[in-house]
Every structure is written in structure tokens, then in C-alpha cells.
Structure 1
Amino acid sequence: MSDKSTAENMLDAAAAKVNETADRAREAGHNVAHAVTGDAHHKAEALEDRGKAELHNREANAEFHEGKHEATDGDGH
């Protein structure tokens, strides 16, 4: 993490959560497509999107905890 303010960390956490949600929506779409067509390509795409969602989830948590730390350490930076 870089030396960011509390607000910057929280904004980055929110952005990562938005990206996670989009990844999970794409994953669901690929799972439906796989169920309908049986095409293994859709299943592979779903797994890729799940991995991206997990990465964004970890990023969001890290940014949130860093922002929380910045907010409680007294200087906000």
C-alpha cells in the first residue's frame, strides 16, 4: 500500500468492491451460458471471473483495513 489518506483508501476499497461485483455478475452469466449450452469455454470464463472477483475482494479488504488504520492512528494520512 502507498501512503494514502483514509478517504483515498476507502474510495479504493469501494472501487474494488464494485469490480468484485461486476466479476461475480460475469461469472454468473458464464455459468448460465454453460448450463444452457454445455460449452466448456463458458465454464473456464466463469472460473477466471471468480478468480478476479476473489482478487478484488482481497484488495477491497486490504484497502479498507489500511483506511481504518489511517483513521485511527490520529493523523488521517
Structure 2
Amino acid sequence: MSDKNTAENLLDAAKAKVNEAADRAREAGHNIAHAVTGHASDKAEALEDRAKAEVHNREAHAEYNEGKREAKDGDGH
């Protein structure tokens, strides 16, 4: 992680969670499209969005954990 303070880490964690939610919504949309049309491209896009969501989830957890560590340090940095 970088030299961010607690608030910056927690803000980045929240942003990553928003991005994860957007990725999961796109995944659901592509899964629905695949169910309706049967196009393999829709399924592939759903899998790609799921992978992106997992990356954002890991980023959120890492940023949150770093923010907690910074808060416990007492200096906020």
C-alpha cells in the first residue's frame, strides 16, 4: 500500500466496493442476456465482469485492512 492516511484508505475501500457492485450488476445483466439469447459472448462478458468484481473485492478488503492498521497506529498515516 502507499502512504495514505486512514480516511483515504477507507474511501478507496468504499470506491472499490461500489465498483464491485457495478461489476456484479453488469454480470447479472449479461447472464440474463445469455439466458434469453443463448449467445456465448454474453456468457463470456458475464465471466469477465465476475473476475473484475473479485479484483475489486480484494482491493476493498486490502484498503480497509490497511485503513484499520493506520487507525490503530494512532498517527493516521
Task: Classify the TM-score, shorter chain.
Answer: over 0.9
Distance 1:28 1:5 in 2: 35
Provide the residue aligned with 1:47 in structure 2.
47
Alignment root-mean-square deviation, CA? 0.3
Provide the residue aligned with 1:20 in structure 2.
20
TM-score by length of 1: 0.99
Q: Tell whether 2:26 aligns with 1:32.
A: no
Distance 2:3 2:68 in 1: 13
Q: Deviation per CA, 1:22-47, whole angstroms, max 9, x where unpaired?
A: 00000000000000000000000000
Distance 1:65 1:71 in 2: 10
SS in 2 for 1:4: coil
Q: Tell whether 2:59 aligns with 1:59.
A: yes
Distance 1:38 1:69 in 2: 47
Return 5+ residue gaps in structure 2 as ranges. Answer: none
Identity across aligned pairs (percent)? Answer: 81
Return 5+ residue gaps in structure 1 as ranges. Answer: none
Structure 1 residue ranges (4+ consecutive) displaced by more than 6 angstroms after TM superposition: none
TM-score by length of 2: 0.99
